[in-house]
Structure 1
Amino acid sequence: MLGHLDPVILARAQFAFTVSFHFVFPAFSIGLASYLMVLEGLWLKTGDGVYANLYRYWLKIFAVVFGMGVVSGVVMSYQFGTNWSVFSTKAGPIVGPLMAYEVLTAFFLEAGFLGVMLFGISKVGKRLHFFATCMVALGTLISATWIIAVNSWMQTPAGFAINAKGQFVPAGSWLPIIFTASFPYRLVHTVIAAYLTTALVVGGVGAWHLLKDRTNPGARKMFSMAMWMAAIVAPIQILVGDAHGLNTLEHQPAKVLAMEGDYQPSPNGAPLILFGLPSNDEARVRYEVAVPHIGSLILKHDPYAPLPGLTDFPRDQWPPAPIIFWSFRIMVALGFAMLGVGLWSLLARARRKLYDWPALHGVAVAMGPAGFVAVIAGWVTTEVGRQPFTIYGLLRTAESHSPLAAPAVAASLLAFVIVYFSAFGAGTYYLLRLMAKAPERNETEPPNLPQRAAGITPASGVGVPLPAGE
């Protein structure tokens, strides 16, 4: 029975499964590393112990998230060789060095300073420890930069030549390869998404503890900081998303048309299709609910601007519109929900009720996982929308996979499902237990005690106070 399955579909499903698990951890660790940097910086500036307590609180969580991200990332990268060997052979001269640069710059930076950040709290001065935290935060951003550079080249390839072996190789300078037309939009959009994801988690945890004890200073502080982030960054993300969409329309028009459900050309302005059931077979959206001209207003900033349709492109180059039509709407809906929570928090803050509105706190708790759902929906929109290509317009997915039989791919997929749900399910359960514990109420400035006097060991260093002096 397994022999009748398509090995390409199975290989794609395996990569989608593993990368979906992996993606949520960098999305969290990028924002959380920067949040830890801000917390420690504020403690050094103000001397307020509540920031140090929150630093200790979230440092434990960061350590677990970072470790889970590393493990899932290593497993994912091996699939380039096992399931996508043709892609690796053809694109390796470009993709390989870019991923190696990520390891040499970002991962080494993170790994080098992570030990100081986690276990050097009682052994180094406060400024050196803060420097280590900053380097880890910088490392996560550099890592995101290289990975987005790889993905952006696959979406909008540039700066390459094809050698006699059919491989993509640099045509000269690496700059056009790294800084492709879509790179800046994707990088900014992804990093902001990571910050919003972290803000929603921090806000949800703070709201959870406020529902139990409105006087807890740590819960109040983290909730306030998270709501500021949501209120300020969510509208920026919407503007960045609009610019990203215009860039995608220019370089990958079929993807945007599939996202919008625009099968037929609209010479007098395209509608905005809110809901419906897209069908590639019928080349239409069944049961559509649409608003006239708004589609052109969003995509061209002119309600009467003409737009092409998917029927203007060869049918064998259409992405699977039903998938990205809905993944895009999930992402956008959650983006506006984040904006709504941010605006609601501003109203509560203006009325001096930020810590006294249980309804707001309940919504914040419910929105805690929303960032993860949004980044996965955005990833699905981006990657499925690139189909049927792995390198857009140049290398098809059906031509990129390894010559493996369907049973072999199905067996490894099943193994991944079992192991991932077991291992990462346990890790997630542990994270939730850490988050369920209320922040410490002690706001005194952490003392500068020698290691032995404080009873500190490297194994327990994650949970100890920061030193007060050099």
Structure 2
Amino acid sequence: MLEALDAVLLARIQFAFTVSFHIIFPAFSIGLASYLMVLEGLWLKTDNPVYLRLFKYWRKIFAVAFGMGVVSGIVMSYQFGTNWSVFSDKAGPVIGPLMAYEVLTAFFLEAGFLGVMLFGMGRVSKKLHFLATIMVAFGTLLSATWILSVNSWMQTPAGFSINEVGQFVPENWWAIVFNPSFPYRLVHMVLAAYLTTSLVVGAVGALHLLRNKTNLEARKMFSMAMWMLAIVAPLQVVAGDFHGVNTYEHQPVKVMAMEGHYESHPEGAPLYLFGIPNEEEQRLDYAVGIPKLSSLIIKHDL
């Protein structure tokens, strides 16, 4: 067993842990920043103190989530150089500038206005404070845009050439940023962030309602969360379908691996619900699947 734990496997395990821990926080904070913007906007428009109290309540939680996301993200970015140094050397001319743009535009924008949003209420005008909240929300979305562009380029690379030392070098930045899978991944991720925030806000509101059904803040946050879920959840189903079809178009082998298929099924692929991969025999042992359903999902054709 210990012999199987080579450097590559250990690097994969470490990076998998880091990225799995990190994604929890941006997935929550992206949506929460937009929720704070909506709450403050509604307070300014209606002068309803319920919205202000909700804003102050969730602002504290956002500060913690944002801080955790920054710290865990820094660790993850270091692992590009420590765990995947050869990849960084080869692909650095393309992904390096993209990640630098994320820091110089989105993160600096968020960090610059975050202090005003957290500590500026009562010290600056209401309009300036609301502008700071808007900029933080916009910064989180801009950050997601750059990071999803990097991730998508690694899946569907475009706009590059390879130099004499084997490095990927940029030829067309427009094609690099807006690579074939980028729009689908970005929409899918942002909707996922809004879903995550809606579920967390809704759960907190439900807990407070169980304790006190007359709690106005709990009723308001629960209602807003449920309306958001009713809108975003169906959109995510559609976006996920588009994303899946796009992945099948550009990375059919990846889709087969995700679905547990070791061979193609010209007459229609089953959707495996359970199975144990057998790499030696190239098959899925103890497979339990629904006939032809995978073909219906991926190609919309039995």
TM-score per shorter chain, which class? over 0.9
% identical equivalent positions: 73
TM-aligned CA deviation for residue 279 of structure 1: 2.5
Tell me by how many angstroms 1:190 deviates: 0.5
Deviations 1:393-446 (A, max 9, x none): xxxxxxxxxxxxxxxxxxxxxxxxxxxxxxxxxxxxxxxxxxxxxxxxxxxxxx
SS of aligned partner of 1:157: coil
**How do 1:200-279 residues align onto structure 2 when only pairs under 5 Å count?**
200-279=199-278
Q: Which residue of 2 aligns with 1:166?
A: 166
- Paired with 1:258 and 1:5, the residues of 2 have a C-alpha distance of 23
Partners of 1:178 and 1:284 lie apart in 2 by: 37
Larger RCO (CA within 8 A; separation ≥ 6): 1
Superposed displacement of residue 290, structure 1:
2.2
- Return 256-265 or 46-55, whichever deviates more: 256-265
Distance 1:293 1:202 in 2: 38
- Matches of 2:20 and 2:294 in 1, distance apart? 30
Q: For residue 191 of structure 1, what is the amino acid of its counterpart?
A: V
**Partner Cα distance (2:14, 2:291) in 1:** 40
Letter in 1 for 2:269: A
Where do residues 323-334 of structure 1 align in structure 2 (5 Å cutoff)? none
Shift of residue 4, structure 1, vs aligned partner: 6.9
- 3-state SS, counterpart of residue 122 of structure 1: coil
Name the counterpart of 2:69: 69
- Superposition CA RMSD, Å: 1.4
Look at both structures and tell me which one has the larger radius of gyration over its CA atoms.
1
What residue number does 2:12 align with?
A: 12
Structure with a larger share of its residues in helix: 2
The residue matched to 2:280 in structure 1 has which SS? coil
What residue is the counterpart of 1:188 in the other structure? 187
Q: How far 1:302 moved relative to its partner? A: 1.3
CA–CA distance in 2 between the matches of 1:237 and 1:82?
35
Equivalences for residues 304-383 of structure 1 within 5 A: none
Number of the residue aligned with 1:94: 94
Q: What secondary structure does 1:124 align onto?
A: coil
CA deviations 1:108-154 (Å, max 9, x no partner) are: 10011001101110111111111100000000000000000001010
Q: By how many angstroms is 1:47 displaced?
A: 1.2
The match for 1:407 is none
Deviation for aligned residue 1:285: 2.3
Match of 2:147 in 1: 147
Shift of 1:212: 0.6
Amino acid at match of 2:259: E
The CA distance in 2 between the partners of 1:80 and 1:54, in whole Å, is 39
Deviations 1:60-95 (A, max 9, x none): 001111111111111221112222211111111111
2:285 counterpart residue number:
286
Q: Secondary structure at the match of 2:276?
A: strand
Asked whether 1:33 is paired with 2:45, we answer: no
Contiguous gaps of at least 5 residues in structure 2: none
* CA displacement 1:356-385 (0-9 Å, x = unmatched): xxxxxxxxxxxxxxxxxxxxxxxxxxxxxx
> In the alignment, is residue 107 of structure 1 matched against residue 111 of structure 2?
no
Report the Cα distance in structure 2 between the residues aligned to 1:66 and 1:300, rounded to whole angstroms: 39
State how many pairs are aligned. 302
1:365 equivalent in structure 2? none
Distance 2:257 2:159 in 1: 28
Given the superposition, is the C-alpha separation of residues 256 and 138 from structure 1 closer, same or farther in structure 2, using an over 3 Å criterion?
Answer: same
Q: Which residue of 2 aligns with 1:409?
A: none
- Residue 274 of structure 1: how far off its partner (Å): 2.4
**In the aligned structure 1, how far is the partner of 2:4 from the partner of 2:257?**
29
Segment of structure 1 superposing worse, 266-275 or 66-75:
266-275
Shift in Å, 1:287: 2.4
Report Cα offsets for 1:326-380 as digits up to 9, x if no partner.
xxxxxxxxxxxxxxxxxxxxxxxxxxxxxxxxxxxxxxxxxxxxxxxxxxxxxxx
Letter in 1 for 2:74: V
**Cα distance in structure 2, aligned partners of 1:4 and 1:15:** 17
**Whole-angstrom CA distance in 2 between matches of 1:46 and 1:26:** 30
Match of 2:196 in 1: 197
| Distance in 2 (alpha carbons) for counterparts of 1:273 and 1:23 | 27
Q: Which amino acid aligns with 1:209?
A: H
**2:281 partner SS:** coil
Q: Secondary structure at the match of 1:290?
A: strand
